[in-house]
Amino acid sequence: MSKTFAGNFFEDFAIGQEIVHATPRTLTEGDLALYGGLYGSRFAMTSGETFAKGLGLERMPVDSLLVFHVVFGKSVPEISLNAVANLGYAGGVWGVPVYVGDTLTATSTVIGLKPNSNGTTGNVYVRTVGRNQHDETVLDYVRWVMVRRREPVSPDALGEATIPELPGAVPAEDLVAPWRVVGGYDTAVAGSEHLWDDYEVGERIDHVDGVTIEESDHMLATRLYQNTARVHFDQHAQARSTAGRRLIYGGHVISLARALSFNGLGNAQSVAALNGGTHANPTFAGDTIYAWTEVLERIELPGRKDVGALRVRTVAAKDHPCADFPLKGEDGRYLPFVVLDLDCTVLLPRR
Amino acid sequence: MSKTFAGNFFEDFAIGQEIVHATPRTLTEGDLALYGGLYGSRFAMTSGETFAKGLGLERMPVDSLLVFHVVFGKSVPEISLNAVANLGYAGGVWGVPVYVGDTLTATSTVIGLKPNSNGTTGNVYVRTVGRNQHDETVLDYVRWVMVRRREPVSPDALGEATIPELPGAVPAEDLVAPWRVVGGYDTAVAGSEHLWDDYEVGERIDHVDGVTIEESDHMLATRLYQNTARVHFDQHAQARSTAGRRLIYGGHVISLARALSFNGLGNAQSVAALNGGTHANPTFAGDTIYAWTEVLERIELPGRKDVGALRVRTVAAKDHPCADFPLKGEDGRYLPFVVLDLDCTVLLPRR
Amino acid sequence: MSKTFAGNFFEDFAIGQEIVHATPRTLTEGDLALYGGLYGSRFAMTSGETFAKGLGLERMPVDSLLVFHVVFGKSVPEISLNAVANLGYAGGVWGVPVYVGDTLTATSTVIGLKPNSNGTTGNVYVRTVGRNQHDETVLDYVRWVMVRRREPVSPDALGEATIPELPGAVPAEDLVAPWRVVGGYDTAVAGSEHLWDDYEVGERIDHVDGVTIEESDHMLATRLYQNTARVHFDQHAQARSTAGRRLIYGGHVISLARALSFNGLGNAQSVAALNGGTHANPTFAGDTIYAWTEVLERIELPGRKDVGALRVRTVAAKDHPCADFPLKGEDGRYLPFVVLDLDCTVLLPRR
């Protein structure tokens, strides 16, 4: 009877299952502009064609995070439509750069399943791969989500758990650095004089600025990514939820934090790896997002003297400026106003 | 004196009058992205260039409804700036596909005039034709609106009524199916396994999902279409109206319903005809839109075994999920929360 | 220590100082669409490729004001991040037209410095030049802003003032008219029958329509221009300010007024000069903007019989329709609901 797809429930997943996600998506110049308008990113390589060409790219590439959102969005209908929570990310690596005109598709493989003891939910671990029209990998990452069961089971009939070994931080040799510094790098035009060599492990940077999120913004963004999770869009239903409001797609906060990070990390031209990440608390319209970053590791890329990588923790907070670098309380839990704890690797030119 | 155009009133129209509408509009990649962000449409043919080419098109076409809105928008200044209500549509047929780079213009012909007995308004029937830069028809439809008179007249001086014979549902031989299934159709990538053959007349589909409209969304959309009707934009003036709020352009709801219909009609790659339609009740910011569809007719296209048409009724409701397929009450009137009753013909691949 | 840039303070500026602004910006088709959606502009030359080509341009050019916003936005981090007020504009001239694919950069020269007697602020005068990737000037204008001092000084240690001679209205010989009327001009398609010859000095035009601004709209626009002024985005901080709310970027109101001016000035295809301008009062989300225009001067362009210029004053008001042409009160001050008084020169075809 039903031609409507209600999403998969925990019972519908099996280890090794391969899922082809729907709707190939061609990235256009329009996506660049809308992404720009939504986040105000100022990194020179994804803003100016001339600057990108100066870094050896054929054209201005699509922002790493826009690629992430598009690939993520494709996986929502099959993976997380019935999710209670998006629990984490690991081992995310960006591959070949994406350009305007490229068409992205995505597939996922179920790599872990863990029934929860309440008998009503389980955790699903998937590895999702985004590819362009030449079948080249543009992004490969693991995420895990807590998904509802269609029917609750009693605690003695939970079934077996298969918890995958999660990748640690992406190692230097797996990072792809598609741009290079040839014939000079103009820090004035780039907007920051601080290069890879200038950052020290342990250094913390307050990104200072704050930006308030409106309902229209996050819905426009989330629809652009063809992400269909209902909690972001349906106020009539959300009014009956615990939150009482629409939840903002966590990726929207990631992109806001990345755009804010320009002030302090202006030469971090691209994101090369998503080592991990937690959406520590929900975000709602009206919240003002601030962010700070800690340098976790300074990574030399094999055979490269022109570009280096920084593994960084970027934390976003709501309605709380980040001069005090907020993270966790004495109980070891995230402070209630911390909304994002992201571990990623960014690329910067070297001196 | 006045260089300002205040729109036409009922007295300004004459049967047979031809109106050239202003502002040629070039469709760009930006329009595709913004349309995507506004509605989150996931139909594969208008999302992925590769998919569109697989259907024999030279490129990814512009969404049928975006073409409709642009053509409609052009006609607003001359036809409906002084409209009290948008009464109906009939005989709408999409012609050659529109691609990025095409420039659309529109003209209208007055085909009917009916003075209303109150002496203050009259109904104006126009046939509007949208054309591309090669003078090919991209859309041809009839609409009628209730327009204010500049000066009220007494009931005995209303003048004659000319009510045109309205076209019924667009017949199979007039439908244009510009894409074809050649060398297979990938239902996994398209996002639905249900093809034309799988739908039965009388079948009803609840599209499940809901999306809440914000003021920014509908104004961004309506300006994108260069639709200048004041009721959508001017809260200062609307505060003094009966509604007290900005009215949402009915076409915005049509596009939302179409995007929601992907869940259940995922292979309805394009809209070929607008047989009729009623904006049953007004929509305002804050409303959450749900939709359902009934299959009215299964139409074979002359000489085509690869693509078939479905005439469908798509109904949208506000703040009311559509599992109960709401439409009219016992009094035969639309339920107060039903906002759209659209009769259109969509194209799907056949088995 | 700090890798974060907090903007320049009054003490940081010196006469003759040259500032290279960050982030080259490639204009795309996406920018055209988003600009269209934000303002609903209907001027034919920037809407239809066919129309633009008919005016001798190689392609549809980017709207003059979008060029202004992008160039202006670049100058914000170094010039006005610590500004208290944007005081005025002068001598703005648009140069070569900007097309999709062009990459804009900007530099500023400090041409004036005036310490204010309060010892806490000073006025900074800069001349900002925007250039394309061929190093051609696309825009050249002067603005002055009141900027905070890092440290207050006592009234007897203010330092010297250098107040530049500000340019008056841009003279005819400095205006660039990059389009021409060749082989006819279709007023029906352009949307107005009033050409340059039809306007008289002193004539005033009420643009009639009103448009309400939402928080999402102005933030989307201001981010699109990569304008980083905090007052537009950070409600958490603004809640503690006198206004209590986010201030709307003055340029957003300029573009709204320009779009509204189509109704009465529909053939003013481009803006050639910004002679001066004042943001008379702040604008906030929820305000409805109306506008009116007075013709100040009718200018013949040297050697041109096809195109003429009108120097116009365009005034915008909030929550006050402009049929009464509001401007200043009996005290000579702007009326509290007047938000913009703009002196610019527009180009129209001649008879």
Over residues B212-255, the pLDDT tens digits come to: 999 999 999 999 999 999 999 999 999 999 999 999 999 999 99
Residue B14: both structure tokens together: 């004459």
Q: Which chains touch C (3 or more CB pairs under 8 A)?
A: A, B
Closest CA to C55 of C169, C155, C185: C185
R_g of chain B, CA atoms, integer Å: 20
Considering only CB atoms, which chain B residues are within 8 Å of A34?
Answer: 30, 33-34, 37
Is the pLDDT at B1 greater than 80? The verdict is: no
Residue C87: both structure tokens together: 């005081």
State whether residue A216 sits within 8 Å of chain C by CB.
Answer: yes
State the average pLDDT for chain A. Answer: 97
CB neighbourhood size of C59 (10 A): 13
What pLDDT does A1 receive?
53
Query: Which of B204, B206, B209 should one mutate to test binding to chain A, selecting the residue with the greatest count of A CBs within 10 A?
Result: B209
Integer Cα distance of B33 and A37 in angstroms: 12
* H or E element that contains A33: helix A29-39
* H or E element that contains C107: strand C103-115
Q: How far from chain centre, in Å, is Cα C83?
A: 17
CB A249 within 8 A of CB A232: yes
Q: What is the mean pLDDT of residues A206-214?
A: 98
Integer Cα distance of C333 and C280 in angstroms: 9
Closest chain C residue by Cα to residue B81: C209
Q: pLDDT by residue (tens digit) across C143-152?
A: 999 999 999 9
What pLDDT does A2 receive?
84
Q: What is the mean pLDDT of residues B80-87?
A: 90
What pLDDT does A85 receive?
86
Q: C249: distance to nearest CA of chain A, Å?
A: 14
The residue type of B40 is G
What is the SS3 string spanning chain B?
CCCCCCCCCHHHCCCCCEEECCCCEECCHHHHHHHHHHHCCCCHHHCCHHHHHHCCCCCCCCCHHHHHHHHHHHHHHHHHCCEEEEEEEEEEEECCCCCCCCEEEEEEEEEEEEECCCCCEEEEEEEEEEECCCCCEEEEEEEEEEEECCCCCCHHHCCCCECCCCCCCCCHHHCCCCCCCCCCCCHHHHCCCCCHHHCCCCCEEECCCCEECCHHHHHHHHHHCCCCCHHHCCHHHHCCCCCCCCCCCHHHHHHHHHHHCHHHHCCCCEEEEEEEEECCCCCCCCCEEEEEEEEEEEEECCCCCCEEEEEEEEEEEECCCCCCCCCECCCCCECCCEEEEEEEEEEEECC
Binning pLDDT at 50, 70 and 90, where does residue C2 land? confident
Rama region for C191: left / alpha / beta (φ>0; ψ in -120 to 50; rest):
left
State whether residue B121 sits within 8 Å of chain C by CB.
Answer: no
Q: Kindly report the CA angle at C42 between C40 and C45, in degrees rounded to 5? A: 130
R_g of chain A, CA atoms, integer Å: 20
What pLDDT does A155 receive?
86
- Interfacial B residues in 245-264 facing A (CB < 8 Å): 263-264
Q: Cβ A228–B42 below 8 Å, yes or no?
A: yes
Q: What is the mean pLDDT of residues B195-212?
A: 98
Closest CA to C163 of C122, C220, C224: C122
Instruction: Closest CB to C205: pick one of B4, B103, B214.
Output: B4
What pLDDT does C182 receive?
87
Burial class (CB in 10 A: 0-12, 13-18, 19+), B97: buried
Q: Kindly report the CA angle at C261 between B82 and C194, in degrees rounded to 5? A: 85
Is the pLDDT at A182 greater than 70? The verdict is: yes
Q: Cβ A209–C30 below 8 Å, yes or no?
A: no
Q: What is the mean pLDDT of residues B87-99?
A: 97
Q: pLDDT by residue (tens digit) across A108-162?
A: 999 999 999 999 999 999 999 999 999 999 999 999 999 999 999 998 889 899 9
What pLDDT does C183 receive?
83
Integer Cα distance of C71 and C225 in angstroms: 8
Binning pLDDT at 50, 70 and 90, where does residue A68 land? very high
Q: B46: distance to nearest CA of chain C, Å?
A: 17
Percent of chain B with pLDDT over 90: 95
Integer Cα distance of B344 and B138 in angstroms: 16
Considering only CB atoms, which chain A residues are within 8 Å of C246?
Answer: 212
Integer Cα distance of B335 and B322 in angstroms: 12
Query: Which of C4, C32, C107 should one mutate to test binding to chain A, selecting the residue with the greatest count of A CBs within 10 A?
Result: C4
Q: What is the mean pLDDT of residues A279-285?
A: 97
CB A13 within 8 A of CB A124: yes
Instruction: Closest CB to A47: pick one of C6, C23, C133.
Output: C23
Is the pLDDT at C1 greater than 60? The verdict is: no
Burial class (CB in 10 A: 0-12, 13-18, 19+), B237: middle
Q: Which chains touch A (3 or more CB pairs under 8 A)?
A: B, C
Integer Cα distance of B128 and B145 in angstroms: 13
R_g of chain C, CA atoms, integer Å: 20
Closest CA to C60 of A172, B133, A9, B90: B133
Q: Kindly report the CA angle at A191 between A187 and A196, in degrees rounded to 5? A: 55
Adjacent-strand bridge partners of A137: A131
Q: A180: distance to nearest CA of chain B, Å?
A: 29
CB neighbourhood size of A57 (10 A): 17
For chain A, helix, strand, coil in percent to 5 are 25, 30, 45
Adjacent-strand bridge partners of C148: C121
CB neighbourhood size of A159 (10 A): 12
List phi, psi (to 5°) of B280.
Answer: -65, -35
Integer Cα distance of A71 and A77 in angstroms: 12
Taking each continuous run of H as one helix and of E as one strand, the counts in chain A are 8, 12
State whether residue B26 sits within 8 Å of chain C by CB.
Answer: yes
ipTM of the complex, rounded to two decimals: 0.96
* H or E element that contains C36: helix C29-39
What pLDDT does C254 receive?
98
Q: Cβ B50–A237 below 8 Å, yes or no?
A: no
Percent of chain B with pLDDT over 70: 100
Integer Cα distance of A112 and A109 in angstroms: 9
* H or E element that contains A317: strand A307-318
Adjacent-strand bridge partners of A128: A108, A141
Integer Cα distance of C146 and C228 in angstroms: 17
CB C188 within 8 A of CB B22: yes
Q: A283: distance to nearest CA of chain C, Å?
A: 14
List phi, psi (to 5°) of B88.
Answer: -175, 170
Q: What is the mean pLDDT of residues B342-351?
A: 98
What pLDDT does A149 receive?
96
